[in-house]
Amino acid sequence: MKTKLLGVIAACVLALSVKATKADTTVNLDSAQLASGSVIDQVQSSYSHVSGFLGDVQTLAQTFTVGVTGELGTIGVFLNPSIPITLNVLQTSAGVPTSTILATAVATPPGQPNTALTYFNFSSSHVPVSVGQVLAFRPYTTVSSGQVLGIQIAFGSPDPYSRGELYTIYLQGGITDWQTFASAHLIDQGPVGGVDAAFVVSVITTPIPGALPLFATGLGALGLLAWRRKRKVLTN
DSSP assignment of 45-88 equals: -EEEEEEEE-SS-EEEEEEEE--S-EEEEEEEE-B--SS-EEEE
Q: What pLDDT score does 83 carry?
A: 78
Cα–Cα distances in Å, from 13 out to 59, 176, 181, 189? 17, 19, 15, 12
What pTM was estimated for this model as a whole?
0.74
Structure confidence at residue 41 (pLDDT) = 97
Tens-place pLDDT, residues 43-84: 998 776 655 444 445 678 899 999 999 999 999 988 766 678
Q: Give the contacts of 150 (CB within 8 A, at least 6 positions apart).
A: 52, 53, 79, 80, 81, 112
Please report, in tens digits, the pLDDT of each residue of the chain (236 residues total). Answer: 434 333 333 333 333 445 444 456 777 788 889 999 999 999 998 776 655 444 445 678 899 999 999 999 999 988 766 678 889 999 999 999 999 999 999 998 776 556 678 899 999 999 999 999 999 999 877 665 555 554 556 666 678 899 999 888 876 666 678 988 877 765 544 444 678 888 999 999 975 454 445 555 665 666 666 666 666 555 65
Compute the C-alpha angle 131/140/187, nearest 5°. 80
What is the separation of C-alpha 207 from the centre of its chain, rounded to a whole number of angstroms? 24
